[in-house]
Amino acid sequence: MKKETVGILYVLIAGILWGTMGVFVNFFDSEGLTSVDIAGIRLICSAVIMAVYILIKNPKLFVIKVRDVWCFLGSGLVSLMIFTVCYFKTIVLSSMSVAAVLLYTSPVFVILLSFIFFKEKITKIKALSCIICVAGCAFVTGIIGSNTSIPLNAFLLGVSSGIAYALYSIFSRFALQKGYSSLTITTYTFIFATIGLIPLTDFPAIGKIMLQKPELGVIMAITGLITAVLPYIFYTSGLERLESGKAAVIAAIEPVVATIIGGIFFKDNLSPLQYFGIILVIFSIVLTNKKINKSKEK
């Protein structure tokens, strides 16, 4: 299988797994946990799972150079932690659909930052696929076709979440170029993000709920594995094989998957515009990959 094809497959798997997050969020919300507490649980469980895994697999993967710590501080604190806080705050100030659309302005920032730092060309196809991707996300989440108004503070926080989300691709690529494996990058990303979220997480409330329902501990671990550990490993591995801008567009399959899951499991009624949005997002992914095929032919 070709290198680019494997990269595309990995990023698609990451996007699909991220798209299942709503199932777990709805479950924990019904148990009385806040969105920030859910985020804290997700990252803590992910950090523990990754640390134990590489400790068993290859403890040498823990070794990083002091001069490279900034890469992991960037992917963990600057990207994952800030993205999480801004994203959930946007949901509180506006709605989940508005937050999702503003989050998926991230491909725009990935393409621009990749041009600045890695000299990745901003081609017409890449720019067009990015525009179609953001428009598709707007249709998928229902923000287009409704009378939704966005408060200024929610807009600014939402765009900030998109920028922070985009920075994961940038900091991870720096780490990849320095020779670190996707496992090392993912592990330290979770560790530093967890450190940043600890002061914001209500551990007494979580502990009280877990005492009443001990089985929630297993579900928390599963949540971390499915919605964080595996998708971040797949996405980071995909970055080894794809340009950052292309990977960001392909990962936009996430809101499509989330919308489809909502329709199947939570009986959310999808409008014609949402179906149109799904088509647009898929088309943007195909368009991005078409460029890869053309370059191969040349």
Residue 293: is its pLDDT beyond 50?
A: no
For the chain, domain boundaries: 3-297
Q: How does pLDDT run across 30-39, given as a tens digit for each residue?
A: 888 888 888 8
What's the pLDDT score for residue 268?
67
Q: How does pLDDT run across 37-90, given as a tens digit for each residue?
A: 888 889 999 999 999 999 999 999 999 999 999 999 999 999 999 998 898 888
Share of the chain above pLDDT 70, in %: 94
Q: CA 115 from chain center: how many Å?
A: 21
Share of the chain above pLDDT 90, in %: 55
Residue 118: is its pLDDT beyond 90?
A: yes
What's the pLDDT score for residue 39?
87
What's the pLDDT score for residue 141?
76
Write down the H helix ranges in the chain: 3-18, 21-30, 35-57, 69-73, 82-93, 96-103, 106-118, 124-140, 152-177, 182-197, 203-212, 216-224, 230-239, 244-250, 253-265, 272-297
- The answer for 142, left when phi > 0, alpha when psi is -120 to 50, beta otherwise, is left
What's the pLDDT score for residue 147?
66
What number is the average pLDDT over the span 1-9? 89
CA-based nearest residue to 185, from 169, 200, 197, 201? 169
- Give the 3-state secondary structure of residue 260: helix
What number is the average pLDDT over the span 186-205? 93
Based on C-alpha coordinates, what's the Rg of the chain? Answer: 19
Give the predicted TM-score (pTM) of the model: 0.88
Which two tokens mark 86?
A: 């801004």
Residue 98: is its pLDDT beyond 70?
A: yes
* Type of residue at 139: F
CA-based nearest residue to 24, from 204, 207, 265, 275? 265
What's the pLDDT score for residue 263?
78
Give Cβ neighbours of residue 22 (< 8 Å, ≥ 6 apart).
Answer: 258, 261, 262
Q: Please state, in angstroms and as integers, the Cα–Cα distance from residue 270 to each residue in 141, 184, 279, 284, following that order.
A: 10, 40, 13, 20
The rounded mean pLDDT for the chain is: 88
Instruction: Out of 60-69, 87-96, 115-124, 187-196, pick the least confident.
Output: 87-96
Which two tokens mark 89?
A: 């705050």
What band does 27 get if pLDDT is binned at 50, 70 and 90? Answer: confident
What band does 25 get if pLDDT is binned at 50, 70 and 90? Answer: confident
Q: Are 89 and 44 in contact (CB under 8 A)?
A: no
Cα separation, 5 vs 2, whole angstroms: 5
Q: Are 122 and 115 in contact (CB under 8 A)?
A: yes
What's the pLDDT score for residue 10?
96
